Amino acid sequence: MIRKLLIANRGEIAVRINRAAHELGIRTVAIFAEPDRQSLHTRLADEAYCVGPGPAARSYLNMPNIIAAALLSGADAVHPGYGFLAESARFAEICADHGLIFVGPTPWVIAQMGDKATAKRVVTAAGLLTTPGSDILASVEEAARAAEEFGYPVLLKATAGGGGKGMRAVNSRADLEYAFATASAEAEANFRDGRLYLEKLIEHPRHVEVQVLGDAFGSVVHIGERDCSVQKPSHQKLIEEAPAPLLSEKVRRGLHQSAVRAAQAVHYTGAGTLEFLVSGEQVYFMEMNTRIQVEHPVTEMLYGIDLVSEQLRIASGEPLAVKQKDIVPRGHVVECRINAENADANFAPVAGRLEELVLPGGLGVRVDTHITTGLEISPFYDSLIAKIIVHAASRDAALTRMDAALRDTRIVGVHTTVGICRRILADARFRAGGVPVDFLAGVLAADMVSL
Amino acid sequence: MRHCPRPIAQASNVWIEFSRKAVSKNKTVGASGRRLASVISFKQALVRAREAAAGCVAGNLAELRVEDGDFAVEVRRTPRPLPIPVPSETLESQVSVLRAPVLLRSENVGAVRLVDPIPSIGESIALGRELAWVECLGIRNPVKAGLAGNLIEILVEDGQAVDFGRPLFVLDAVE
């Protein structure tokens, strides 16, 4: 088993990983950027090293300093969390070169699945259906030709992308040039890789993803699906739930089996997620995330499985402890992401000091967060400040419990997404279940009209 | 920070003088921080005064008063005007104007190695002189004096693990 773990991340996920490690008796090493010196993840770890100044490129992405911190502290493993270096094959490789266990799949798998165009080729070979798409586009002209072939609307996507960054819907040739330039620049700024590809835009699909776990001995299990269709207009997820409501058993089973087949095809090790677009009875593979995801607690609560703990066990070389037949969902789980954002200003991130903070609790309510009263929300990083997850016997009960939890939540000092989440929970279409990914954009557009 | 004069009490206000020597020579910028209500640490006052002095020099102003809540700092330039710093001038050179002790910090995570022979306390250090290096993944990252000055203190031992921003040396800048 891993003895000492360096957590190469910040915020709530660093706190989350620290918790799982301590539970397994693993000592922890935090890294932090200067503005995070007093941050909760820094304080909870057994040791902490400052790796750079505020901008992530010089701190949380500073590979030499992070690896040096791991070696100096005597850590034998590195957990990358999500974002930052989590899907950097190079970082995984450098860890291995220095004798450190990278908690995640092999660099080869990260490279294969991290490159979206390559990933589509791999899963197509495994028998999965993907949205018609192009190879990597060298120019706007090439993009225009591909778009003509599939027919507008099309979706421009960054091959290294994630979290909706570097992604643009394009409705006509006239919009293509601008979309291409901005998406490429955004991808370059966020992932240091501005390469784009294009695919046919499936209209009004649902976003359903499947959690998988694989060990080094070739076993792969799925831990059900999550419905993440409530997304901001920027395609970033806001509310997630499981099981996906109003999904036929045939589609659900198909999703699970496809996910396991794809993971087996690449000899996947660790925790991963395969994202699908569901349109009626059609299921299209979108991408695979080779890391723990923000919304992983939804699956943890529904199945009673600690995914981060499983990641650490698998990375330590242990076989999967669970068998597919023992993985059974119980009830319904909903998660709301609480971001320091102004929902009335197109979810613009906001900075400020948390003057007052009251978080919800009680039966079936879980809060994953790193925030404390008095904390300065820094403009340098992701705006996610807390995740509220509720578990109840049925979907209705879970939604009611979530609304009560949000009503109890008091965050003074910055704008948050608590209000918009409550509005969504009260929406009749969301209550009915099975909304498409453009549902929230529609709600917000209707607001604009009624103003 | 031991070469900084202690704050001097004056009636109900506390005046902080930290470049007394320089002011008496009538050569450079003098700055003072005044505590008005709540307690502000000497270190904080020094930082604020240093910022204000830098602003004063950069804007070529004779006087500058910066207020922040109940704390105010006033910076006055002495009769002989200083040359306006060229834009490429570093923060260190502005700090040297104040004659405040300056910390040399580590930019890397690694083991710090002091140069041999180890510079002695009080020794005059030329601008750009290498005092140590931080070994990060086998790469030697030199720590050089960002300004000329006298070495006041060495804060680390040879071979010690350091992280980003860890103070390594204290220099008292000379003009």
Would you call B164 and A52 a contact, using CB atoms and an 8 Å cutoff? yes
Would you call B111 and A51 a contact, using CB atoms and an 8 Å cutoff? no
Question: For the segment A409-425, what is each residue's pLDDT rounded down to a tens digit?
Answer: 999 999 999 999 999 99
Q: A379 preceded by cis ω (within 30°)?
A: no
A52 contacts on B by Cβ (under 8 Å): 164
Q: Please choose, from the candidates B79, B15, B85, the residue with its C-alpha nearest in 3D space to the C-alpha of residue B49.
A: B15
- Burial category of A138 from C-beta neighbours within 10 Å (exposed 0-12, middle 13-18, buried 19 and up): exposed
Residues 6 or more apart whose CB falls under 8 angstroms from that of B38 comprise B69, B70, B71
Rounded to an integer, what distance in angstroms lies between the CA atom of residue A423 and that of residue A166? 28
**Mutation test of the interface with chain A: which of B112, B139, B163, B166, choosing the one with the most A Cβ atoms within 10 A?**
B163
- The arithmetic mean of pLDDT across residues A253-279, rounded, is 97
B137 contacts on A by Cβ (under 8 Å): 64, 67-68, 71, 98
Would you call A64 and B165 a contact, using CB atoms and an 8 Å cutoff? no
* Residue B26 confidence (pLDDT): 37
> Which of B111, B136, B161 lies at the smallest CB-CB distance from A65?
B136
> Which of B108, B111, B161 lies at the smallest CB-CB distance from A65?
B108
Residues 6 or more apart whose CB falls under 8 angstroms from that of A302 comprise A224, A242, A243, A329, A330, A331, A332, A333, A391
The dihedral region occupied by A304, where left means phi > 0, alpha psi between -120 and 50, and beta the remainder, is left
CB A8 within 8 A of CB A81: yes
Kindly state the percentage of chain B with pLDDT values over 90: 38
CB A224 within 8 A of CB A217: no
Report the mean per-residue pLDDT for chain A: 95
CA A349 to chain B, closest CA, distance in angstroms equals 26
Rounded to an integer, what distance in angstroms lies between the CA atom of residue A183 and that of residue A195? 9
Question: For the segment B134-175, what is each residue's pLDDT rounded down to a tens digit?
Answer: 999 999 999 999 889 999 999 999 999 999 999 999 998 765
Tally of CA atoms within 13 A in the half-sphere of A151 that contains its CB: 3
**What are A258's two structure tokens?**
């496809």
Q: Tell whether B139 lies on the interface with A, counting CB pairs under 8 A.
A: yes
Residues 6 or more apart whose CB falls under 8 angstroms from that of A239 comprise A228, A230, A334, A335, A336, A337, A421, A424
3 state SS of B55? helix
Would you call B136 and A69 a contact, using CB atoms and an 8 Å cutoff? no
Question: For the segment A22-43, what is each residue's pLDDT rounded down to a tens digit?
Answer: 999 999 999 999 999 999 999 9
**Mutation test of the interface with chain B: which of A31, A34, A65, choosing the one with the most B Cβ atoms within 10 A?**
A65
Question: For the segment A183-223, what is each residue's pLDDT rounded down to a tens digit?
Answer: 999 999 888 889 999 989 998 999 999 999 999 999 999 99
3 state SS of A328? coil
More confident residue, B59 or A182: A182
In this prediction, residue B21 has a pLDDT band, given cuts at 50, 70 and 90, of very low
Q: Please choose, from the candidates A112, A103, A162, A170, the residue with its C-alpha nearest in 3D space to the C-alpha of residue A140.
A: A170
- The arithmetic mean of pLDDT across residues A164-182, rounded, is 92
Question: For the segment A316-339, what is each residue's pLDDT rounded down to a tens digit?
Answer: 999 999 999 999 999 999 999 999
Would you call B161 and A51 a contact, using CB atoms and an 8 Å cutoff? no
* Residue A190 confidence (pLDDT): 86
Would you call A69 and B109 a contact, using CB atoms and an 8 Å cutoff? yes
Alpha carbon B4 to chain centroid, angstroms = 10
Kindly tell me if the per-residue pLDDT of A238 is higher than 60. Answer: yes
Q: Tell whether A438 lies on the interface with B, counting CB pairs under 8 A.
A: no
Q: Give the burial string for B82-117 (b: 16+ CB within 10 Å, else e).
A: eeeeeeeeeebbbbbbbbbbbbbebbbbbbbbbeee
For residue A267, the cross-strand partners are none
In this prediction, residue A160 has a pLDDT band, given cuts at 50, 70 and 90, of confident
Kindly tell me if the per-residue pLDDT of B12 is higher than 70. Answer: no
* Residue B32 confidence (pLDDT): 46
Question: Which amino acid is present at A334?
Answer: V
Q: Which residues of A are catalytic?
A: 291
DSSP secondary structure string, A344-398? GGTTEE--EE--EEE---STTEEEEE---TT-EE-TTS--EEEEEEEEESSHHHH
- The arithmetic mean of pLDDT across residues A307-316, rounded, is 98
- The arithmetic mean of pLDDT across residues A426-451, rounded, is 92
- Burial category of A51 from C-beta neighbours within 10 Å (exposed 0-12, middle 13-18, buried 19 and up): buried
CB A384 within 8 A of CB A11: yes
Rounded to an integer, what distance in angstroms lies between the CA atom of residue A38 and that of residue A375? 9
What is the three-state SS of A53-116?
Answer: CCCHHHCCCCHHHHHHHHHHHCCCEEECCCCCCCCCHHHHHHHHHCCCEECCCCHHHHHHHHCH
**Mutation test of the interface with chain A: which of B139, B164, B166, B168, choosing the one with the most A Cβ atoms within 10 A?**
B164
3 state SS of A247? coil
Q: Tell whether A99 lies on the interface with B, counting CB pairs under 8 A.
A: no
Q: Tell whether B159 lies on the interface with A, counting CB pairs under 8 A.
A: no
Question: For the segment A361-408, what is each residue's pLDDT rounded down to a tens digit?
Answer: 999 999 999 999 999 998 889 999 999 999 999 999 999 999 999 999
Rounded to an integer, what distance in angstroms lies between the CA atom of residue B44 and that of residue B66? 14
Question: For the segment A121-154, what is each residue's pLDDT rounded down to a tens digit?
Answer: 999 999 999 988 888 899 999 999 999 999 899 9
Q: Tell whether A98 lies on the interface with B, counting CB pairs under 8 A.
A: yes
Question: For the segment B40-62, what is each residue's pLDDT rounded down to a tens digit?
Answer: 555 566 666 666 666 656 655 65
- The arithmetic mean of pLDDT across residues A266-285, rounded, is 96
Residues 6 or more apart whose CB falls under 8 angstroms from that of A436 comprise A204, A205, A206, A229
**Mutation test of the interface with chain B: which of A72, A95, A97, A353, choosing the one with the most B Cβ atoms within 10 A?**
A72
Kindly tell me if the per-residue pLDDT of A292 is higher than 80. Answer: yes
Q: Tell whether A122 lies on the interface with B, counting CB pairs under 8 A.
A: no
CA B165 to chain A, closest CA, distance in angstroms equals 7
CA A49 to chain B, closest CA, distance in angstroms equals 6
A98 contacts on B by Cβ (under 8 Å): 137
Instruction: Name the DSSP letter for residue A307.
Output: H
CA A35 to chain B, closest CA, distance in angstroms equals 12
Rounded to an integer, what distance in angstroms lies between the CA atom of residue A284 and that of residue A291? 21
**What are A22's two structure tokens?**
């301590």
- The arithmetic mean of pLDDT across residues B105-109, rounded, is 96
Q: Tell whether B165 lies on the interface with A, counting CB pairs under 8 A.
A: yes
Residue A219: C-alpha distances to residues A109, A263, A269 (Å): 16, 10, 9
Q: Tell whether B166 lies on the interface with A, counting CB pairs under 8 A.
A: yes
CB A156 within 8 A of CB A179: yes
Q: Tell whether A67 lies on the interface with B, counting CB pairs under 8 A.
A: yes
**What are A125's two structure tokens?**
């070979």
Q: What is the dihedral of CA A360, A366, A371, A372, to 10 degrees?
A: 50
In this prediction, residue B31 has a pLDDT band, given cuts at 50, 70 and 90, of very low
Kindly state the percentage of chain A with pLDDT values over 70: 100
B163 contacts on A by Cβ (under 8 Å): 49-51, 65, 69
**What are A44's two structure tokens?**
């909870």
For residue A197, the cross-strand partners are A157
In this prediction, residue B1 has a pLDDT band, given cuts at 50, 70 and 90, of very low
Question: For the segment A78-96, what is each residue's pLDDT rounded down to a tens digit?
Answer: 999 999 999 999 999 999 9
> Which of A50, A53, A98 lies at the smallest CB-CB distance from B163?
A50
B112 contacts on A by Cβ (under 8 Å): none
> Which of A64, A69, A71 lies at the smallest CB-CB distance from B163?
A69
More confident residue, A250 or B89: A250
Please report the ipTM that was assigned to this predicted complex. Answer: 0.82
What predicted TM-score, i.e. pTM, was given to this entire model?
0.80
CA B141 to chain A, closest CA, distance in angstroms equals 12
- A-B C-beta contacts closer than 8 Å: 42
Report the mean per-residue pLDDT for chain B: 67
Q: Please choose, from the candidates A339, A429, A334, the residue with its C-alpha nearest in 3D space to the C-alpha of residue A384.
A: A339
Q: Please choose, from the candidates B133, B140, B163, the residue with its C-alpha nearest in 3D space to the C-alpha of residue A70.
A: B163
Rounded to an integer, what distance in angstroms lies between the CA atom of residue B86 and that of residue B52? 18
Q: Which of A 361-420 lie inside 8 A of B, CB atoms?
A: none
